[in-house]
Amino acid sequence: MKRNPIALAAGGTGGHLFPAQALAQELKRRGRSVLLVTDARGARYAQDFPADARFEVSAATPSLGGPIAKVSAGFSIVGGLFTAFRKFGEYKPVAAVGFGGYPSLPAMTAAALIGIPYALHEQNSVLGRTNRLLAGGAKFIGHAFPVIDKVSAKARLKSIEVGNPVRDTVAVLESVGFTPPDTSGPINLLIFGGSQGSSIFSEAPVRAIAALPEAIRHRLSVAHQVRENDLEAVRAGYSGAGVVHQVAPFFEDLPERMAWAHLVVSRAGASTVTELSAIGRPSILVPLAIAMDDHQTGNARVLSEVDAAFVLPEKHFTQEALRSAMVSLLTEAGRLEQMAAAAHGRVKRGASVALADLVEEISRKNATLKDA
């Protein structure tokens, strides 16, 4: 690969990897080389990541578990730091960007020690713990949503709302308009629980749909992403209710299915909320109750406060509550269309370009200083 790439560090979940992938796509269009730093978990989501080179660092969560787990996590992060330090010495990045997740911690720390300028991007409504640890040395902190919490007064001065970068597969769907279901045609319903899907996303939706009035139920076409262990039970539930369905443990074409849907039922991860906004689709959002700092509730608020989404807290995610919400949204004339219009563009657009501009600016300043 070319020397002096821009290093992008992200890991743990697709929620961190996908925005980094979107920035990488924009940087590649500008002729820049990209170095990906991730961990074993993040690598599962990085098959299509357009990096010229990549390496994995060991990383762990020091905030979970007992004393032994914390010590083990500490050793893992130190090991990741040495790996990043050695690899950065080899590739000589001109700038780095951390997207959260614990791989960002050793990567951005190594960048700081070597003198590589780094920036951060926060996808959620709350500045994540890794980004909080790294905020002091960051050249800027790009954030996705209009309001971001857990930011110190000093860090807020260098915080910039850029939006959430979306992958090219999502960007091409931004112009696909929403066509509401007609009075007798099919109603397309997409259900997925995110990368941390749980059994409640296999159970409550199937029971709620089976309890819908026949006039609605028999018009449904459901695409439902569920855990491997729940596949047969979910399929049997839909078949017993006479509902047309596609059930799988993972949909490779999830953005296209989102564009196909008349209504989406999902978690409120940052990528999901951003893609609902980019494509413009109505939703029922169920924030993950164990999400750190309850950031998914904040993410969901971005859409719910403009009536683009109905928020159902996880403790209330029951058959009856979901059935009631579905009946309300699917029978009120014009409701879905109004929600879709409110969602479209709610999250700031052009994030990949805006973030790439900012990253190139700090890389140019770094190159100028080295040449001086």
Token pair recorded at residue 86:
């050695």
- pLDDT-derived band at 184 (thresholds 50, 70, 90) equals confident
Residue 93 within a domain: yes
Instruction: Write down the pLDDT at residue 1.
Output: 60
Predicted pLDDT at 170: 96
Assigned domain for 230 exists:
yes
On whether residue 286 sits in a domain, the answer given is yes
Q: Please, what's the largest Cα pairwise distance for the chain? A: 74
Q: What is the pLDDT of residues 86-109, one digit of tens each?
A: 999 999 999 999 999 888 999 999
Would you state the pLDDT for residue 63?
A: 52
Same domain, 116 and 219: no
284 and 354 fall within a common domain? no
User: Does 193 or 60 have the greater pLDDT score?
Assistant: 193
Both 178 and 111 in one domain: the answer is no
DSSP secondary structure, 49-100, as one string: ---SEEEE-----TTSS-HHHHHHHHHHHHHHHHHHHHHHHHH--SEEEE-S
Structure tokens at 337: 């269309």
Q: Is the pLDDT of residue 196 over 60?
A: no
Q: Do 334 and 193 fall into the same domain?
A: yes
Q: What is the share, in percent, of the chain residues with pLDDT greater than 90?
A: 79
Q: Do the domain assignments include residue 202? A: yes
- Average pLDDT, integer, range 340-348: 97
Residue-wise pLDDT for 285-327, tens only, equals 999 998 888 999 999 999 999 999 999 999 999 999 999 999 9
Long-range contacts of range 67-70, CB-CB < 8 Å, 24 or more positions apart?
Answer: none
Domain match, 223 and 139 both: no
Question: What's the pLDDT at 67?
Answer: 59
Nearest CA to 61 out of 52, 53, 49, 69 is that of 69
What pLDDT score does 200 carry? 87
CATH number at residue 37: 3.40.50.2000
Please tell me the predicted confidence (pLDDT) of residue 74: 56
- If asked whether residues 32 and 135 sit together in one domain, one would say yes
User: Is pLDDT at 36 greater than 90 in this prediction?
Assistant: yes
* Cα→Cα distances 19→124, 230, 294, 332, Å: 11, 29, 21, 35
Residue 352 has pLDDT above 80, yes or no: yes
Structure tokens at 165: 């970068």
Is the pTM higher than 0.85? Answer: yes
Higher pLDDT, 228 or 224: 224
Domain ranges, residue 156? 6-165+350-371
| 324 and 310 within one domain | yes
pLDDT single digits (tens) 115-159: 999 999 999 999 999 999 999 999 999 999 999 999 999 999 999
Instruction: Tell me: do 78 and 147 sit in the same domain.
Output: yes
| Element (DSSP H or E) covering residue 231 | helix 231-240
Number of domains in the chain: 2
Q: Once rounded to an integer, what is the mean pLDDT over residues 340-366?
A: 95
pLDDT at site 245:
97
User: Is 331 inside a domain boundary?
Assistant: yes
> Do 14 and 65 sit in the same domain of this protein?
yes
If asked whether residues 98 and 202 sit together in one domain, one would say no
Q: Is residue 1 part of a domain?
A: no
Residue 323 lies in a domain: yes
pLDDT > 70 in the chain, percent? 91
Say which residue the tokens 């279901």 belong to: 181
On whether residue 46 sits in a domain, the answer given is yes
* 122 in the same domain as 23: yes
pLDDT grade for 75, boundaries at 50, 70 and 90? low
The model's pLDDT over 274-283, given as tens digits with 9 standing for 90+, comes to 999 999 999 9
Give per-residue burial for 323-351: e unless 16+ CB within 10 Å, then b.
bebbeebbeeeebbeebbbbbbebbbbeb
The mean of the pLDDT values for the chain is: 91
Q: Is there a single domain that holds both residue 183 and residue 112?
A: no
292, 272 Cβ separation under 8 angstroms: no
pLDDT of residue 194: 62
Determine the pLDDT at residue 61: 57
